[in-house]
Chain A
Amino acid sequence: MSLRIMPKSLLKTWIKHLQSRHFKVVGPTERFGQYVFEEIHSADELVMDYPTSVLPPKKYLLPPRERLFTFNAKTMEMQPDIQAVPTVILGVHTCDMHAVAMLDKVNNTGYADQHYKARREATYLVSVECLTPCMEGSFCKSMGTLTVPENYDLHFTDLGSDYAVEVGSEKGAALLEGCSAFWEPSEADYARVDAVIGAKWQHFPYRLECDVTELPDLLALSQKSPLWDELGERCLACGMCTKVCPTCYCFDVTDEIDLNLEHGERIRQWDSCQIEKFAVVAGGHNFRSSRALRQRHRFMRKGKYQYEAFGLMGCVGCGRCAASCLVHITPVDTFNALHRLRQAAQNGSAAENTASNQEVQA
């Protein structure tokens, strides 16, 4: 790993340089007061200090809707559709970088997903150090995602007039090749980076009332919690929480075919475990027939199941689901409520024990 310094005024030059090398360059842009990752045509469109995006950059690795292969239903010929457009994603927050690590793990466990792999290999991740909390619902510090994981190609830290650019991989180094915008750092530059990163932590609150490492056990003990029924009462089952989540990867697969019933394609599209039919089997049995059970499944995946299956937390604390939920169901409130219920139950039984001990003594 090595450090470079780029004056902010040269960001434009670098983006042009990347585009001239036929990279597709995407980054956060403004849309109706929110921000979305979109292809950047000029550096002016880019908002590097955006709070959060509607959809996470996941959409470039696992598109909302994707053709898996084309087929001819008459001749039975098939052609896989594997896309690998070299794409540079600028301005990825550290929570979303942790989410990419999760997607990498899922798609390379068991039989690897070639469609994902091809896109991922052609994708260059340029992350950015978060210096202030992006919104109320985010809780990255509690989830341990406020530091970038080691999967970045380049990592930017805003030093005021300059960016500190850490090179994390050969792919990252390749992005700097032939561009004079990047300078060798001085001793003073290292000190500047340390100062900025050191100063940021105090701005971020811990929002979970328990430690992140306690979540799997807390959830294991909360399978039968009355909280799920309460969430089920409130939940609209609109599925937005799962659409905006950077670690949700569930999908549906459908066929589309032309009116001659000959040429068609197999499509995969993001699905949601919050909708009625997600766990229905042929014949009609629904393994998660209520909104309460589906909310439970969602939070179990975020704080327990995915950790047990892949060794990584299923929630990265980005806060998107909290911001988009119309009935204000949030992971922070849910985990904290479970934690308090658990504590109350323990205190209750401790009190009971004390009471019965006293009886014995009396």
Chain B
Amino acid sequence: MTTLLNETLKESIYMPTPARITAVKTFTPTEKFFKIALPSGFSLAHRPGQFVEVSVFGVGEAPISICSAPSRSNGTFEMCVRAVGKLTDALHRLAAGSTIAIRGPFGRGFPIERFRGKDIIFVAGGLGLAPLRSLIDEVINDRGKFGRIHLLYGTRTPQDILFAEDLVAWANAPRTEVHITVDRPDEAWKGNVGVITKLFPKLRFHARNTVAIIVGPPVMYKFVLMELLGKGIADGNIWLSFERQMKCAVGKCGHCQLHHIYTCQDGPAFSYAQVKHLEEAFS
């Protein structure tokens, strides 16, 4: 058994390894779920929060976050892909049995060992739930090592809710609360309505012993950060994941540069303490 990364680094850091799509599920009109099998003998050996570079030959390559937990990956991994560009559109046209190519995993994920013994607030906006799912499952799989868990999840409409089965399973896990809100409800929706920060009054936590992990669209960060900081959670206990354009994933192409940081290799997971002084971090 060798890691995919070892293979990636062998001849050219830019050359991927073929991998097979074994299952495709349509989540929403724009989001699909893919299960990928690596060639036999390979493991992904990723950390929650890391990403892979996915190739469809002839179309190109794009960074996609891994949405499955390391402890549930056995030569396979999962990703949830929104069709928003040439590569993701091409992925959406592929069916189970197709072959793609993968490099990675890349970047630094979330430091899960530092979350042990603490209460955790997960805040996910839209597709941000995908990279968080990898971490949430890892925490739930080792449930005894963590304190109380809150998951706040916001989407535009009820139809945009991703990972519906997982949300039910998480809500049923011990000492775990799941709160969902939508911007625009339909007639059938009986849950919360409004922006995600409206969910905060529902939470009871001890700020000194709480970590918060936020993943969502750029506009969400400022408001969620204000809530969390206002509740007294320390800068170093707030973690977030940055999305940037990436062409190489190995700190060379310059697209993801944020000050002296390359989001692809120094992130995409950062603590708020690491990035709060950086102009453009939340622009």
Contacts and interface: CB of A to CB of B under 8 A. Distances in A.
Is there a direct interface between A and B, measured as CB atoms under 8 Å apart in the complex? Answer: yes
Given A76-B18, A114-B11, A283-B84, A251 B60 contact: no
Contacts of A264: 57-58
A80 B11 contact: yes
B245 interface: yes
A362 B113 CA distance: 62
Interface string B7-18: 001011111101
Contact of B251 (A109, A281, A283, A287): A109
Interface string B217-259: 1100000000000000000000000011101101111110101
B181 interface: no
A72 B262 CA distance: 31
Chain A binding surface, main DSSP class: mixed
Contacts of A271: 247, 253-255
Contact-residue bracket for chain B: 35 or more
Given A279-B244, A283-B84, A301-B257, A80 B251 contact: no
B265 A110 contact: yes
A257 interface: yes
B152 to A, nearest CB: 21
Contact of A69 (B14, B82, B253): B14
A26 to B, nearest CB: 24
Given A68-B15, A110-B265, A287-B280, A251 B253 contact: yes
Interface string A75-96: 0101010100000000000000
Given A223-B279, A293-B280, 11 more contacts: A69-B12, A73-B58, A78-B15, A111-B250, A112-B13, A113-B13, A255-B60, A278-B255, A281-B243, A287-B218, A288-B283
Interface of B: 9, 11-16, 18, 57-62, 82, 84-85, 88, 99, 101, 217-218, 243-245, 247-248, 250-255, 257, 259-262, 265, 279-280, 283
Interface of A: 68-69, 71-73, 76, 78, 80, 82, 106-107, 109-115, 223-224, 249-255, 257, 261, 264, 266, 268, 271, 273, 278-285, 287-288, 293, 297, 300-301, 304-306, 308-309
Which 9 A-B pairs give the minimum distances between C-beta atoms? A250-B254, A257-B58, A308-B260, A73-B57, A80-B12, A309-B260, A76-B18, A282-B84, A223-B279
